Amino acid sequence: MILRNVAIRHGRSALAAPLRRSFLRSMTTDTLTHETDALSHSVHNHLKETHSIEASINQLNLTKTFVPPSDAGESLDSIKTDYDSQQRLNKRTGKLGSAVEKGYVPDALVRNPPKPADVTLELLMASQSHLGHSTSLWNPANQRYIFGIRQGIHIISLEETAAHLRRAAKVVEGVAYHGGLILFVGTRAGQGPAIVKAARLSKGCHLFEKWIPGSITNGDQILARCDIKVVDKDDVDITSGFEDKIGDWKALKPDLVVCMNPLENYIMLHECGLNNIPTIGVIDTDADPTWVTYPIPANDDSLRCIQVIAGVLGRAGQEGQGRRLEAAKTGHITWLPPPGLGSPETAEDKKAAANKVRRGPPTADEIAAEQSRGKSSKQEMDDVDGEL
Amino acid sequence: MKVSWHPATLKETLQCASHPQSISFSRQRVINIRPRNFTTSTRLQAGIAAAEIDFGGRTGKEKEPPFYARLVPTSASYFTAQPLFTDDLLAVQTLVERYSNLPTVKPGEAPRVAWRPLADYRDSVGEVVQASKYSKIIHALQRLNHIQASLMPEPVKDALNAYKRNVNPFRNVVKVAPIDKLGRSLGAGRRKASTARAWLVEGTGEVLVNGKSLVDAFGRVHDRESVIWALKATDRIDKYNVWALANGGGTTGQAEALTLAVGKALMAHEPALKPALRRAGCVTRDPRRVERKKPGHVKARKMPAWVKR
């Protein structure tokens, strides 16, 4: 249809346009009739051709519903119909034509973050994780992570980055597997979406605004109004039976903190240190790697690098949570309830919650197995605690 | 070659270099090295105190397995200390992102919406939300409000309605006073205890207040000027006739009530004069009334005179 419009418009303009003066001058009176005949013939042919093209296009039924835009004032309805028809057209003709190569999609890393297995040196380099700071700004503690100097800035060794990132992914996965609470922190401008995505994947918490000092050391004051809930082994909410205990329960503390910009969050890392909370941090060449438990030497100024790291750790957490729920389905519980929480207050509540947990009555074998598992899981927890 | 101070692996390499036949031996040795356990906590815990005595296990009485329940934050924004606000912000921003491809109206052409004020929002979430943070929500809402009305998706409508004020002041259109078939417009005004009505008709500048001419009705020149101030400020004294009724109060009150009445009647004829009339002070009602007398005072504020003894 568009093609037809173009052809008709051009045909019309070709007909309407005055002949060039030089062309007229070159023509004598006797040749003039021949020339005009030839011209009219060619125009006729041209029109015929456009008609045939139009007919063949209309046969395709691709553009039957398309109405060419008119100048006579667009009403709201026309905008809606235009939009709908455009959507239909895109849907039908989107696959036609040449294949477009992959372009740069700014939020691709946030929408579909890479897995720990996808971490390659190429990916890290493409996301600019090797660029450090000016050599004059370095912290000598990072010497072991530095590959060399180029154009006055330190280049971080990508092998170190990849190794440390994989190790951190293992830690995140382990904490998620053991039912820990993971907090992702990235308070620089633009880090929010990646942080939120990572927290959503790993069922953790996110923080993309300022860390309120004392949220861990003085949490009972600062987080007093923030609600907590009780979940069972399958992460299903237990709605009744714990109201009183939740009411005067202390504020929660994270079991692992992942910090994308340790330089700005010293207070938070210090609080984590005071409470024996392990931390993972992106350490640029000007940061102090001893502030965090598990450093990841990388460029913390690049949003793409942060998106890769947050994405990888988020995916690792997702994997850990998935494994934990899988294990819980088979009756293997990888965590221990917090001391003092106990069981629901009334027997009915307990029964209601227990019905959710277990469908049939447990056999003696199951109980024994569970007990041994409980012991082993406690052992594992201790190991993890010690390790962290 | 003296190799005793080298690290183990390097030592081994050097040994291999100097004595090629000893490779198998050294590999054997490497494999047999026990993996080092870096964890000391279990041993430490065991060392601090004696292990817990299990009274139930030995006697055959099965220990009841623990009730598996754990505590988690209700919201992922737990550590922001403003979980409800942060969740709201993320919800709105998610909508903006999801519907960013829908056609929008031009920047000035979106319907004007009065958003809920910050204090109202604070009350509803019960958190101390800074104005700068609430403005982020408003910013996202304004972007959503620019989506074409006919293509507005349901979730966006719901989100917008949740943040709209219950009353939209921008839909409140000022009623225009009508002009009757004889060409008269009626305006009413009040000042102090006086009320006044003024009918304005196109004419030559005659003024009748309560059936009397302006000179007869008001003795003070200032009051006479006040009555026709709306016409004087807009240079229309000789274009309209005024027929007015005023009652209650005193002369000043009646004159200034008439100012308002004439001004409003004039706006019915020429609505475009409103800004000029507002600048001239013929639109706003002066709310001041006589202040009440207080006990212990002679008048509203006057104190009794101080008398010696």
Tell me the per-residue pLDDT of A16-25, one tens digit each, with 9 for 90 and over.
Answer: 555 454 444 4
Q: Does any CB of chain A come closer than 8 Å to the CB of residue B86? A: yes
The span from the CA of B114 to the CA of A120, in Å, is 51
Instruction: Outline where DSSP puts E strands in A42-194.
Output: 131-134, 146-150, 153-156, 182-185
- Mean per-residue pLDDT, B125-130: 93
Give contacts of A353 with chain B, Cβ < 8 Å. Answer: 67, 69
A252: distance to nearest CA of chain B, Å? 8
Of B161, B164, B240, B158, residue with least CA distance to B198: B240
The Cα–Cα gap between B272 and B286 comes to 22
Q: What phi and psi values does residue A216 have, to the nearest 5 degrees?
A: -100, -50
Taking only the tens place, the pLDDT of each residue in B264-292 is 999 999 999 999 999 999 999 999 999 99
- pTM tops 0.90, yes or no: no
**Contact yes or no for A386 and B102 at CB 8 A:** no
- B44: chain A residues, CB-CB within 8 Å: 386
Q: Which of residues 199-258 of B touch A (CB under 8 A)?
A: none
The token pair at A106 is: 């700014």
Return d(Cα B105, Cα A102) in angstroms, integer.
31
Q: Can you list the positions of beta strands (E) in chain B? A: 70-73, 185-191, 194-202, 207-209, 212-213, 240-247
* Residue listed under structure tokens 């994989």: A166
Neighbour tally for A14: CB within 10 Å: 12
Question: Is A83 an 8 Å CB contact of chain B?
Answer: yes
Residue with the larger pLDDT of the pair A379 and A98: A98
pLDDT of residue A27: 47
How far apart CA A254 and CA B109 sit, in angstroms, is 47
> Do the Cβ atoms of A146 and A170 come closer than 8 Å?
no
The neighbour count for residue B30, using CB atoms within 10 Å, is 10
Distance in Å from the first CA to the final CA of chain A: 68
B148 with A79: CB under 8 angstroms? yes
**Which 8-state DSSP code applies to residue B104?**
B
Task: Please tell me the predicted confidence (pLDDT) of residue B171.
Answer: 80
CB B22 within 8 A of CB B15: yes
**For B38-83, how does the pLDDT look when each residue is reduced to its tens digit (9 = 90+)?**
544 444 444 566 666 666 655 555 567 788 999 999 999 999 999 9
Letter for the amino acid at A198? A
Q: Does B77 touch chain A (CB under 8 A)?
A: yes
- Å between B21 CA and nearest CA of chain A: 34
Closest CA of chain B from A343, distance in Å: 5
Among A1-5, A46-50, A52-56, B194-198, the minimum mean pLDDT is found in A1-5
CB < 8 Å from A in window 96-115 of B: 102-103
CB contact A200 to B (< 8 Å): yes
pLDDT tens digit sequence for A120-145: 999 999 999 999 999 999 999 999 99
Q: Kindly determine whether residue A209 and residue B66, on different chains, have CB atoms separated by under 8 Å.
A: no
